[in-house]
Amino acid sequence: ECEDIDECATANGNCQHICTNKRGSYECSCRAGYTVSSTDSSRCVDINECTQSLGSPCAQFCTNTDGGYTCSCRPGYRVRSSDAKTCEDIDECLNNPSPCQQICINTDGGYSCSCNPGSQVSPTDNSKCIGVDPCNGNPCAHKCTPNGNSYTCSCRSGYKIKDVTKCEDINECTQSSGSPCAHNCRNTDGGYECYCKTGYRVRPGDITKCDDINECNNKPSPCQHICTNTGGDYICSCNDGYEISSLDKNKCQAKSDPCKNNACEQDCAVSGSTAKCICDRGYSVSKKDPNKCDDNDECLKKPCQQHCQNTIGSYTCTCDPPLYAPRNNKTVCIDPGPDPCNVEPKCKQLCKLTSTGRMCYCNDGFVINEEDDRFCDEIDVCEARADIILIFDASKSIGVDKFNNQFVFAIKLIKNFNVESDNIRFGGVVFSEVAKRLFNLKDYDTQAELTKALTNVTYMNSVTFTHEALLLVDREEMFSSEKGGRADAPKIILIFTDGSPSLRTNATLAANVLKNKRVSIIILAIGQGSDLKVRDLYSIASSQDDVLLATDYDSLDTVEKKLTSKMCTASSRQG
């Protein structure tokens, strides 16, 4: 009887892993995770569980090992402790420290970071938070300014906020504070444009202001004869014997008025549609011939205390020597005595000898009393506010000595006004055939400076073209702020003259231009000669009361007080 040999008892049957004896044979097998080699039944090779046809045993990643395999998970997951084949999500937000600077939100297999209000995730590190720019995205129409977690919208110049974020154009031309333009205003998108009325142009350097265009400076002149510039326009006038054409305001035609070619001996005035001859002071229309003027014999009314000598157009009083007529009353006679200045009644302040006797005069700050030339009245310094332009006649009828007397009197006159306080400002003009500006209102602000400016003025010795002085004041805008004028100060012109203007019509027109601009015109008329026609001066002055008379240049002191009062009253009245 045969006995089975147990091949497994020797060298494990030469099996690599497990040997199983069988009757008359044996069989090699392998441990779990291995399989018998197809080329050597005694050998075992590893089974790759990760590539089995039934699929990977792992939920995510499978890694084959010698005799087995290992399951692993993607980032954000880990192998489940209860089932090594499956994966569970890792909640990174539970880490300490948290992976996020502010807010951590766990997600399947990962996490995301977010930020508190007012912050946002950094574009360079999504775990960090940076401040939010509330202006990001341009929420405002023009300008955006961050304000904490919010923002404030503003607009460019010329616009205003509308509905918080929008801007709308401001119409500067219709603001409650008034138009920014001196004349006309045109609104534009974000701004405005100024433009001027006809006859004006925009001032260089200040587009809101308008300057008058002096059309009279054009070449050729717009007027055939005389051009007078006015604010925004001009006025044409004509030489004597001509009038403005009815067809063209710039042209002149020969006059066809009732006084044309009149037969009047002296002067003619229009009354309605007829001419009437009139006479100068000291004359009367002749009863025999209405075209003639007869001299009035004033001596018939016995105006003189002693002797009356009728003259053509006037009269002269004389006294038996050594009697003399006082300066303020040429009709009476006074005994001067051996020393006129020491004879009672004496001059109360100052006395000087003249060819006709004595003359009383006063210290600065005083003037001769109008009723009795022995007395001096103290002048109250005028504290009114005014801009005053002094116009001096330098025509040939005056003569150089009397011309200079005007300035001596003017220097005394201005001391009656408060110059140093800047209440009163003076300008100066001298004229004859042409006019010349001596100084502007802004040039001098002390009595000493004005005195110097009124000393050694050149005598012109020509015709009396009063209109040239008035035109110069208007043309050069001597009352303007650029020349020292003040908008709140009354404007006054004082004219010193000894005769009627050579071109009366021109002077009247030029004066009217200034009077229409609220300029008061006062005239100091000096003398009694035939050259002085007071009626002509009435048409230039603001009123007949604004024409003051002095009998001669030696008697100017007698009108000083009245003239000061007149100028001071004009300042108060106009202001």
Predicted confidence band of residue 564 (pLDDT cuts 50, 70, 90) = confident
Average pLDDT, integer, range 400-425: 88
Shared domain check, 562 and 417:
yes
Which residues form the domain of 472?
386-572
447 touches 424 (CB < 8 A): no
Average pLDDT, whole number, for the chain? Answer: 87
User: Which of 220-229, 256-265, 498-507 is most confident?
Assistant: 220-229
Q: Is residue 334 part of a domain?
A: no
Q: Which helix (H) or strand (E) holds 494?
A: strand 491-497
pLDDT at residue 316 in the model: 81
Predicted confidence band of residue 157 (pLDDT cuts 50, 70, 90) = very high
Q: What are phi and psi of 436, to 5 degrees?
A: -135, 130
Tell me: pLDDT of 272 over 90. no
pTM: 0.45
Tell me: pLDDT of 352 over 90. no
Predicted confidence band of residue 571 (pLDDT cuts 50, 70, 90) = low
Tell me: pLDDT of 37 over 70. yes
Tell me: pLDDT of 530 over 50. no
Min mean pLDDT across 273-277, 286-290, 451-455 is at 273-277
pLDDT at residue 419 in the model: 87
pLDDT at residue 321 in the model: 76
Nearest in space to 216 (alpha carbons), one of 236, 245, 200, 202: 236
Rounded CA-CA distance 544/519 in Å is 15
Cα–Cα distances (Å) from 284 to 303, 380, 537, in that order, read: 18, 42, 20
Retrieve residue 7's tokens: 């091949």
Predicted confidence band of residue 500 (pLDDT cuts 50, 70, 90) = confident
Q: How far apart are the first and last CA of the chain?
A: 165
Average pLDDT, integer, range 277-284: 84
Burial of 423 (0-12, 13-18, 19+ CB in 10 A): middle
Three-class DSSP category at 268: strand
pLDDT at residue 327 in the model: 63
pLDDT at residue 355 in the model: 53
Tell me: pLDDT of 349 over 50. yes
Q: Is residue 475 part of a domain?
A: yes
Average pLDDT, integer, range 214-239: 92
**% pLDDT > 90, the chain:** 51
User: Which of 111-115, 119-123, 571-575 is most confident?
Assistant: 111-115
pLDDT digits (tens, 9 = 90+) for 218-230: 999 999 999 999 9
Residue at token pair 């007395």 = 375
Retrieve residue 484's tokens: 């020292």
Residue at token pair 């090992």 = 65
Q: Which helix (H) or strand (E) holds 506?
A: helix 504-515
Tell me: pLDDT of 374 over 90. no
202, 229, 254 — which closes off a domain? 254
Average pLDDT, integer, range 352-380: 76
Amino acid present at 422 = D
- Helices 560-574 and 400-414: crossing angle in degrees, nearest 10, is 60
Q: Who wins on pLDDT, 490 or 268?
A: 490
Three-class DSSP category at 111: strand
Tell me: pLDDT of 205 over 60. yes
Tell me: pLDDT of 529 over 50. no
Tell me: pLDDT of 357 over 70. no
pLDDT at residue 528 in the model: 52
Retrieve residue 283's tokens: 């004359």
Average pLDDT, integer, range 201-211: 92
Average pLDDT, integer, range 156-185: 92
Q: Is residue 166 part of a domain?
A: no
Count of C-beta atoms within a 10 Å radius of residue 24: 9
Tell me: pLDDT of 169 over 60. yes
pLDDT at residue 554 in the model: 67
Range list of β-strands (E), 303-406: 307-311, 314-318, 350-354, 357-361, 366-368, 376-378, 386-393
Q: Is residue 346 part of a domain?
A: no
pLDDT at residue 20 in the model: 94
Min mean pLDDT across 53-62, 114-123, 287-296, 473-482 is at 114-123
Query: Half-sphere exposure of 308 toward its Cβ, with a 13 Å CA cutoff?
Result: 14
Q: Which helix (H) or strand (E) holds 346?
A: none
235, 254, 273 — which closes off a domain? 254
What is the per-residue burial (b if ≥16 Cβ within 10 Å, else e) of 178-216? eeebbbebeeeeeebebebeebbebeeeeeeebebbbbb
Radius of gyration of the chain (CA): 58
pLDDT at residue 575 in the model: 46
Q: Who wins on pLDDT, 326 or 133?
A: 133
Q: Is residue 244 part of a domain?
A: yes
Q: Is residue 326 part of a domain?
A: no
Three-class DSSP category at 128: coil
Residues 6+ apart with CB under 8 A from 2: none
Q: How many residues does the chain have?
A: 575
Three-class DSSP category at 229: strand
Residues 6+ apart with CB under 8 A from 336: 322, 323, 324, 343, 357, 358
Q: Is residue 128 part of a domain?
A: no
- CATH code where residue 224 lies: 2.10.25
pLDDT at residue 117 in the model: 76
Min mean pLDDT across 89-103, 140-154, 373-387 is at 373-387
pLDDT at residue 541 in the model: 93
206, 239, 254 — which closes off a domain? 254
Average pLDDT, integer, range 544-571: 79
Predicted confidence band of residue 118 (pLDDT cuts 50, 70, 90) = confident
Residue at token pair 């005394």 = 412
Tell me: pLDDT of 334 over 60. yes
pLDDT at residue 196 in the model: 93
Q: Specify the number of domains making up the chain.
A: 2
28 touches 35 (CB < 8 A): no
pLDDT at residue 572 in the model: 56
Predicted confidence band of residue 114 (pLDDT cuts 50, 70, 90) = very high
Average pLDDT, integer, range 465-473: 95
Q: Is residue 62 part of a domain?
A: no
**% pLDDT > 70, the chain:** 95
- CATH code where residue 474 lies: 3.40.50.410
Average pLDDT, integer, range 58-82: 92
Rounded CA-CA distance 198/200 in Å is 6
